Amino acid sequence: MSGAPGSSRRTLVGAATQVGTEVSINFGSALAGVAIPFVGSPIVVAARQLVMVVVLLPFYRPRRELLGWRRLWPAVALGVVLAVMNLSFYEAVHLLGLGIAATVEFLGPLVLALATSRRLLDVACVLVAAVGVVLLTGLEGRIDAWGIVFALIAAATWAAYILLTRRVALRLPGLEGLTVGSIVSLALILPLAVAGIANADFSWPVVGLLLAIGVLASALPYALDTFILRRITPRLYAIITSFGPVVAAVFGWIVLGERLGPVQLLAIVLVCAAAGTAIATQRPAPASELEQTAERLT
């Protein structure tokens, strides 16, 4: 029992840090909403990925003999998904606003988490989330159809990102997979970014914004994820993440001046509540004897 207080403190620190990363990511997304009218989404995404590569590359120096396709294809696929996910999400933010875009995008991991469930509670949570999305996008104000399309693409690619990240983590050591994925993502986005330079309105404040977006939305959260997951359970991590749309709506209001009506605010709360309930009540798979032994040793 002597280790219980220390374990509680580790969990509290991990949870508080995870809340901090949600704030960081959504503040970075709000700043992206400020920068996009000046330089366009491809340049914003390219800047974000460039910062990510600069942060990760010093920790991973690839060896040529290990750069085979059979070994690295999941990381390459992860890079493609990263490029599509970030570009489509920022386009959705530009067309819909941060609060609505973040809520629709969250359908991806929610549906993925409940895809194999047979519980009536999970079915109810999906229905509540669906009602929330209908209220958010269909009943109050004019909603841009292309914005919804981009947000749904972001949702689908976020689900794919989760699946590929798990596979990459199992096949490649350390940060190797994330580094390769970031390089591939940057390579795909860079031509679009270069094509948009002629029409971009660059200034030192805009450059500062791009740097801040890269740090807040990519470098800082990814760097802290390992620290966080060593201190809290994946379930608690997912529950805290499920409140991301609320944080996004707050930053959309503070930074971008977005005004959501009462029905839209209720819709965001419904989606977050449905996601939090579904994730919090999931039953973990029984641990193997090896996993139980490792848990006792740690």
Q: Is residue 293 part of a domain?
A: no
| pTM value > 0.85 | no
pLDDT band for 19, please (50, 70, 90 cuts). Answer: confident
Would the pLDDT of 296 be above 50? no
For the chain, the domain total comes to 1
Q: Contact 159/104 with Cβ under 8 angstroms? A: no
Q: Is residue 292 part of a domain?
A: no
Q: What is the pLDDT of residues 160-182, one digit of tens each?
A: 887 887 777 677 766 777 788 88
Strands (E), 27-71: none
Q: Contact 159/112 with Cβ under 8 angstroms? A: yes
Q: What is the pLDDT of residues 38-59, one digit of tens each?
A: 999 999 999 999 988 888 777 6
Q: Is residue 297 part of a domain?
A: no
Q: Is residue 171 part of a domain?
A: yes
Q: Is residue 291 part of a domain?
A: no
User: Residue 153's CB: how many other CB atoms inside 10 A?
Assistant: 19
Q: Is residue 236 part of a domain?
A: yes
Domain range spanning residue 29? 4-283
Task: Please give the average per-residue pLDDT across 51-69, as a whole number.
Answer: 70
Q: Could you tell me the end-to-end alpha-carbon distance of the chain, in angstroms, rounded to an integer?
A: 14
Q: What is the pLDDT of residues 243-291, one digit of tens each?
A: 888 889 889 999 999 888 888 888 888 888 887 777 677 665 554 444 4
Q: Is residue 36 part of a domain?
A: yes
Q: Is residue 295 part of a domain?
A: no
Q: What share of the chain is helix, strand, coil (3-state, %, to 5)?
A: 85, 0, 15
Would the pLDDT of 12 be above 90? no
pLDDT band for 155, please (50, 70, 90 cuts). Answer: very high
